[in-house]
Amino acid sequence: MVDEIVLITGASSGIGAAMAMRFHARGARVIVTGRNRERLEELAKRHPGMSVVVMDVADPRSVTRGMAEVAAGVPHLTTLVNNAGIQRLLDFSATEPPGPADVTSEIDTNFTGLVNVTAAALPLLRRAPRARVVQIGSGLGFVPLAAAPVYSATKAAVHSFTVSLRRQLAGSTVQVVEIVVPVVDTPLHRDLPSPPPMAMPLDDFVGRAMRSLDAGRDEIAIGLGRVSRLGARVAPKRLFSIINRG
């Protein structure tokens, strides 16, 4: 049996760290990446055998360096989890709308970086008999949160890219998976004054995600993520009003 080697971006906290711990507990070799070396090394210290690669997905040069470091240390990858993401509350109706730096950093982290990491990882994924790319999407990619317009748009782009990538890699040894994430209680929502209502506990979410990955599903919509995906087709205006009320 081929060794299971998993690379997770944005693994210093939240969903990325939780998935890293689940894969590690199952005996996989886990490589955690992110911008914060200290947090990554703390995680790896608690879970001996994890490897740390500092990589900022928003910086193409950092992606190139980071993936070269990964390739030098492993024979292949069996799973890539593109989890890195940031969410900002941006008000374009304000007297001073968001500046280019705010907008660009969110797009580069949530979408451009995901595309770049995927492209860089594919040669390593193809070396394994079977492998998968796991994109962490969002229900907001189907029905946006107006207060987080750029985040919502990037997750819509992630969904579109994932559908196209799945078509391009059909028949290959690389499966392409999208997890449509609901509201989960993680540091992603640090800009909010309080935790979002109906946020799913992190452990519950990761448990459901891992079971669905084990089942081999291509599209995994969980909780309110499933509601958003369905609602975008059958009642988009109604669901948009519900999500954006208040």
Please identify every residue annotated as catalytic: 151
Q: Is the dihedral angle over the CA atoms 36, 41, 47, 51 positive or is it negative?
A: positive
Give the C-alpha separation, 68 to 72, whole Å.
Answer: 6
Give the residue ranges of DSSP H helices in 74-112: 100-107
**Are 172 and 126 spatial neighbours (Cβ–Cβ below 8 Å)?**
yes
**Are 84 and 67 spatial neighbours (Cβ–Cβ below 8 Å)?**
no
